[in-house]
Structure formats: structure tokens, C-alpha cells
Amino acid sequence: MKPIDLHLHTTASDGAFTVEEVLTAARDKGLAAISITDHDSVSSVPEEIRRSSAFGLEAVPGMELSIECDGFEIHLLGYLFDYRDAELLERLSGFQEARRERAELMLAKLEGMGITLELEKYFPGVSDGSIGRLHIGRAMYLSGYVSSVQEAFSRYIGNQGPVYVPKLTFSLPEAIGIIRKLGGVAVLAHPGQLRKDDLIPEMVSMGLQGLEAYYPSHSLFETNHYIELARYYGLIVTGGSDCHGPNKSRILMGEVVVPYEVLDELRELVGK
């Protein structure tokens, strides 16, 4: 079977691609199935589900929740949950409003430093979506204030930067609980970036069901390590490119091969 990609972003969070551009790129890459996993948002999922078959793709409902845990950030992927649940949509709407308020504070701080940005100029409709630091960093780059998005983070908007503002996050048990309550699968995103393997047993006790072992920045050793950890704890193994379009240094879709069998295992886990 063709490979799949279960970690993609759109303009509904901090990606540069619309849903149509994600679907087009996935078709052109020869993928069999995709999951759009926007940060704290499911805004793109209905269109993804509705249009995917026309591109020869299977669509997997997904999202990526932001979690604060002891001073560091964890990302939790959710798959095959009820993305139409009214309580979930209300909760995520509150997160999007908090992101907008955070972005306004950061933009005001930048303006005080002589850096004036118009996000809508580069990301039409972003004010109605889930605004992230990547939007601000890319706008700084496109406006000529920095030589790269990486510079924007290192000099201005990174966690230690002068304009950084903390964001609203879920707690770890809350995020896992939301996904499980809605009938979905809770997966720890890019554990090789997190480097907190000691937390995995505790997360398993909370209901964690999978590890994202196939990931572009994971070395072969790390991929195999997390596959073995998943086996040890009885977890499913997933993967994806974490493609944000050109918002990051390059378009990552297709750079990691995730076997189709992963989707079969996800569906088996939830009985779909």
C-alpha cells in the first residue's frame, strides 16, 4: 500500500497551506491517507473529510493539543475522535480566542520595538483562526525584519525572547481525557524532540495510546527506540511529517515514510 501522513497543518493553525493545497500536495506525493492535525483546532477537518475522496485520499480526523507540564510544552495528537462534538468545539473556540489575544500582545510589543506587522497581509483570514508564533515569525521574515523565521524566534519571539507571551494550554490528563472521551486515540507527538521518556509511563497510566515514532527529525536510532518503547508499553506506533508548508525551512510532506498498516491499527483500536 501507499504511505500515509498523519501529522499535517493548515492555515487553520500555523500552516501555510489551505486544505486544498494540503490535499493537492498529498495526492502529488502519492499518499494514500492523511490527517490534518492543526494546533488546538479542528476547523479544517470537515473540509478535509468532505473533499479527500476527490483527491484519491482517505482522511483521518485529527488535532494536536498543546499541553503545559512542569515548565515545558508537550504536544498530544488525537485521531478518529468525534470532531463535531459541541463541547469540544466550544473548548477549542476559547483556545483560539486566547491565541488571538496572545498574538495581539506580542504584536504590540514588537511595535514598541519599531516592528510593525500586518498578519492579514500574508495570511488572509488568520484573525478568524488559530494564530501561532510561526505566523508572526514568518510575517517578520516576509516583511524584511529578519533574515529567517529561525532568527525571529531566536531574537524576538522564542521562549526567552523579549516579546514572548505564554499561551493557554491544556493539562496532560485533561488533553488525554478529551481525546479518549470522544472515542479517539491519544498519541504523544515527536517524543524525540520532547526528550522526556521518563514521562511516558505516567502518560500511559493516564490513557496514552500511541507514540509518534516516524518523524522527520528522528534519527533511525530514535525511530527504532520509540517503536521498541511502544511495544514495551503496548502502544500503537504512528508517524507524520509535521508539514507546515513553506512556513518552516522546507516543505516536509513526503520526507518520512509511514506505512499504511498504521492506519489499520488505529482503526482497529477504536473499532472503526
Domains and CATH numbers, the chain: 1-272 (3.20.20.140)
Return the pLDDT at 271: 86
- Distance of alpha carbon 258 from alpha carbon 243, whole angstroms: 14
- Distance of alpha carbon 106 from alpha carbon 150, whole angstroms: 17
Digit-coded pLDDT (tens) for 214-254? 999 999 999 999 999 999 999 999 999 999 887 566 778 98
- Distance of alpha carbon 204 from alpha carbon 207, whole angstroms: 5
CA distances to 75, 108, 142, 192, 197 from 137, rounded to whole Å, are 20, 14, 9, 24, 30
- On the 0-12 / 13-18 / 19+ scale of CB atoms within 10 A, 44 is buried
Return the pLDDT at 248: 63
- How much of the chain, in percent, has pLDDT values that exceed 70? 96
- Rg value, the chain, Cα: 18
Instruction: Supply the pTM of this predicted model.
Output: 0.88
* Greatest alpha-carbon span in the chain: 55
Please state whether beta strands 62-69 and 58-59 pair in parallel, antiparallel, or not at all (unpaired): unpaired
Let me know: does 258 contact 239? Beta carbons within 8 Å: yes
Residue type, 217: S
Instruction: Give per-residue burial for 148-162: e unless 16+ CB within 10 Å, then b.
Output: ebeebbeebbeeebe
Question: Going by C-beta distance under 8 Å and a sequence separation of 6 or more, which residues neighbour residue 44?
Answer: 10, 11, 12, 19, 22, 36, 38
Low-confidence residues of the chain: pLDDT under 50 = none
Cell numbers at residue 92, please?
477549542
- On the 0-12 / 13-18 / 19+ scale of CB atoms within 10 A, 100 is middle
Residue with cell 530514535: 222
Return the pLDDT at 106: 94
Return the pLDDT at 213: 98
Return the pLDDT at 71: 75
